[in-house]
Structure 1
Amino acid sequence: MTRPPTAAQQRVIEAADAVTGRLRGTEAQLAALVKRGLAFRHPRPPHDHFLTPAGHRIREAAPDPVPEAPREQGPPTGVFAARVGGEEDAPPSGPARRREVHGAWQGLLELRRMTHPDGATDRPCGWERAHLVRAAALALEAAGHRPAGGDTDGYRVRATPQPEAVAVYAPDAETLAACAATLEGAGWQTGEYTEPRSRARYLLASPRRV
């Protein structure tokens, strides 16, 4: 039976980047995680360390930390999360948010490159298949689509009972078609459907495998 990581190793795992799994720690801590199969060292410079699927599972299983009280100056910081649409506490839009989203998307492309056997970046990776709503939302937000929020119309990404599929809603047919084009360009396959009761049109999107 594999021993659980030490408290110090657990902190390093929990502090990993939420999207790419990139790690920060001492050489000894990182080497220990590699030895236990929870991390790997990238072969290309700068030879950063990243979580393996086993390391990601440990990170996902960790309890949510108790949030700290907001500081007197500046907003509290937190883990990046793509906007799925309809959040009550959505981060403000603007240049800073666009930079953050762009960085997260580039990190996700790098994760695709590292985890696909052929280094492909044109189809979703394992992390995206395990976080369907967040992955689809990141693709949409990174492409410049506007999420719904408050009095603002925009896309909404929601989970569905179907395996490996999310539903994407939009305020009009043109926006829905644009969202479909973005997701297909990001390696998803989409189909347009109508809800039986509300007659609302929506996309059913799932990660493409090949």
Structure 2
Amino acid sequence: MTRPPTAAQRHVIDAADPVTGRLRGTEAQLAALVKRGLAFRHPRPPHDHFLTPAGHRLRETPAQAPVPEPVQEAPPDSGVFAARIGGEEGPVAGPARIREVHSAWQGLLELRRMTNPGGDVDRPCGWERAHLVRAAALALEADGHPPAPGTDLAGYRVRATPQPEAVAVHEPDPEALRGCAATLEKAGWQAGEHTEPRTGVRYVLASPRRA
């Protein structure tokens, strides 16, 4: 991208659905974003427009700032849905949060249907591979697993790993840890329990299944 988007185009990007990246705007605005490589037009009806990975990165970047690597979480109190990866301060449950998580998960399934070959909803899509920690955390929270609040040990914590396309899920309760692995398997991830050699702590290593 040789120059930043216009204010109107930036507004369209910022207003994109936080999970699916679905866009709303005039035909001219959407066409301009496609030309810049920030959006694509889905080939199947109703031919909606969605952010590309570059568009997602730009949406997560303050206006007029250089584009950094994708962030794992939205800033607190930003008004944008963010999957709880464990360790966040504040309440972690409640009717409003349950509704938000359910809506985000349904949106993610729709994104799988619209972007995976053959409309496959049983395995992760490109957005999930670009946001591994957030995607795994959303799958866990949507299935009812509680994230660890603040510095509390109880609950899951999803963290990035040095391995490509892999996240680590920590949960002190062995039964709950096995439940996290089962949830991720059901959500289309490959998941297995491992032991940290130095500490003996058990954790789940998970990566998106490709087929």
Normalised by the shorter chain, which TM-score bucket? 0.7 to 0.9
Number of the residue aligned with 1:145: 145
Work out the CA distance in 2 between the residues paired with 1:86 and 1:11.
31
Q: Report the secondary structure of 2:117's partner residue.
A: coil
Q: What is the 5 A alignment of 1:1-210? A: 4-42=4-42, 43-45=44-46, 47-60=47-60, 62-63=61-62, 78-88=79-89, 90-150=90-150, 151=152, 153-210=154-211
Q: Quote the sequence identity (%).
A: 79
Q: Report the secondary structure of 1:80's partner residue.
A: coil
Q: CA-to-partner distance for each residue in 1:48-102, whole Å, 9 max, x for gaps?
A: 3322334334334x2279xxxxxxxxxx6611111111112x4541111000000
Unpaired segments ≥5 residues, structure 1:
66-75
Using the TM superposition, give the Cα deviation of residue 130 of structure 1 relative to its aligned residue in structure 2, in angstroms. Answer: 1.1
Using the TM superposition, give the Cα deviation of residue 37 of structure 1 relative to its aligned residue in structure 2, in angstroms. Answer: 4.2
> What RMSD, in angstroms, separates the aligned Cα atoms of the two structures?
2.2
Q: CA-to-partner distance for each residue in 1:150-191, whole Å, 9 max, x for gaps?
A: 447111111111111111011221101110000001010011
Work out the CA distance in 2 between the residues paired with 1:139 and 1:19.
12
Work out the CA distance in 1 between the residues paired with 2:25 and 2:91.
29
Work out the CA distance in 2 between the residues paired with 1:135 and 1:64.
25
Using the TM superposition, give the Cα deviation of residue 29 of structure 1 relative to its aligned residue in structure 2, in angstroms. Answer: 1.8
Which deviates further from its counterpart, 25-34 or 139-148?
Answer: 25-34
Work out the number of aligned pairs and report it. Answer: 197
Work out the CA distance in 1 between the residues paired with 2:172 and 2:142.
19
Number of the residue aligned with 1:73: none
Work out the CA distance in 2 between the residues paired with 1:2 and 1:86.
38
Work out the CA distance in 2 between the residues paired with 1:81 and 1:204.
22
Using the TM superposition, give the Cα deviation of residue 115 of structure 1 relative to its aligned residue in structure 2, in angstroms. Answer: 1.1
Work out the CA distance in 2 between the residues paired with 1:91 and 1:22.
29
Work out the CA distance in 2 between the residues paired with 1:64 and 1:137.
27
Task: Indicate conservation of the 8 Å contact 2:85/2:133, yes or no.
Answer: yes
Q: CA-to-partner distance for each residue in 1:118-148, whole Å, 9 max, x for gaps?
A: 1101111111111111100000000001111
One-letter amino acid matched to 1:204: L
One-letter amino acid matched to 1:102: H
Work out the CA distance in 1 between the residues paired with 2:153 and 2:94.
15
